[in-house]
Structure 1
Amino acid sequence: MKDSSKGGLDRIDMKILRALHADGRLTNAELAARVDVSPATCHRRTRRLFDEGHITGVRAEVAPASVGLGALVMVGVMLDLSTPDSRSAFEKAVLKMKEVLDCILVAGEFDYFLKIRARDMADFNKLQGQTLIALPGVRNTRTFFVMREVKENAPLPF
């Protein structure tokens, strides 16, 4: 029976999502055993969860420092104008920046928050001076260097 509060997902769909969210490396056979369905049923359901956009991807979580990206920086961005056109131009430019991990439109003092990974403070300073302030419509930015990541990329609470 489908549960409309969960976007039309039933109990088995939710078990599959929880299991894969906890461990995306499960084989289909392991997943099927965990959710108590046949491998064929599990494969069909998992494929449907991908096709319908309930699962958006699977990837390894890489330790940033191990690839030379030890600095985590949060940047609050204020635009000159907050119109659909100005937001669109800003968002298109940000989508091209590999250093930006997340770009979030917010309400309040800032228009956007950017989560950025850099090698170090000097690397970020160069990015700030050459790229961030030149993004379309940017009036002002406020930078927050992360001292310690207490909780990051936690599993969804479902």
Structure 2
Amino acid sequence: MTGLDATDLAILRMLGADATKSAAQIGRAVGIGQPAAWRRIRRLMDQGILAGRRVAVDTAALGFGVTVFLGVRLAAKGRTSLEDFERAVTAIPEVQTVQHVLGQFDYRLRIVARDISDFERILRRRIMTLPGVGQVEANVMLSEERRPGPLGGVDGS
């Protein structure tokens, strides 16, 4: 993170908390004008530090009350199996994230379902029928605490 000053870090924290803030709002909050704030945001984007703006969707408000983290170990490892699995699993709408990981499992999936019965249906009819799936392990999320991320402890010095 070389080249970032305290103002850049403050902008990153603000956008991390609420990506809908305007350059004018950000500028006022960090003590600079709107054009200067926009230039800094643009520079952070050009440098690849800001990779886009996202909206957080409350899945529970949409009727998806269960989140499950599913570890998946593929039965047959190989480049073709990985690509086939990734292509198939990303087509399942309830699968929110697909992470290729190192460890006991090959993949970690974040899945949302309406309830446990719905998750069982997704698991049996969609996940277990994917190419190369061997072993799975499900962990149901009980609660989630949002953390500020690595910028929470950075002071800009």
TM-score of the aligned structures, taking structure 1 as reference length:
0.83
Correspondence for 1:96: 91
Q: Could you tell me which residue of structure 1 aligns to residue 74 of structure 2? A: 79
Is the aligned partner of 1:31 residue 2:26?
yes
- Equivalent residue letter for 1:14: L
- Structure 1 runs not aligned, ≥5 long: 1-5
- Within a 5 Å distance, the mapping from 1:40-51 to structure 2 comes to 40-51=35-46
Q: State which drifts further: 49-58 or 63-72.
A: 49-58
Q: Is the 8 A contact 1:75 1:115 kept in 2?
A: yes
Q: CA deviation at 1:76?
A: 0.9
Residue 122 (structure 1) aligned with residue 117 (structure 2): yes
Q: Structure 2: which amino acid aligns with 1:66? A: A
User: What letter is aligned with 2:150?
Assistant: P
Amino acid at match of 2:116: M
Identity %: 34
Kindly state the Cα deviation for residue 9 of structure 1 after the two structures are TM-superposed: 4.0
The question of 1:69 aligning with 2:58 is answered no
Q: How big is the alpha-carbon RMSD for the aligned residues of Structure 1 and Structure 2?
A: 1.9
Output the amino acid matched with 1:67: L
| Contact kept? 2:70, 2:137, Cα under 8 Å | yes
Considering Cα pairs closer than 8 Å and 6+ residues apart, tell me whether 1 or 2 has the greater RCO: 2
Q: TM-score, normalised on structure 2? A: 0.84
Match of 2:143 among 136, 145, 149: 149
Q: Given that residues 81 and 137 in structure 1 are in contact (C-alpha distance below 8 angstroms), is that contact kept between their aligned partners in structure 2?
A: yes
The equivalent residue for 1:113 is 108
SS state at 2:81 partner: helix
Which runs of 4 or more aligned residues in structure 1 lie more than 3 Å from their structure 2 counterparts after TM superposition? none
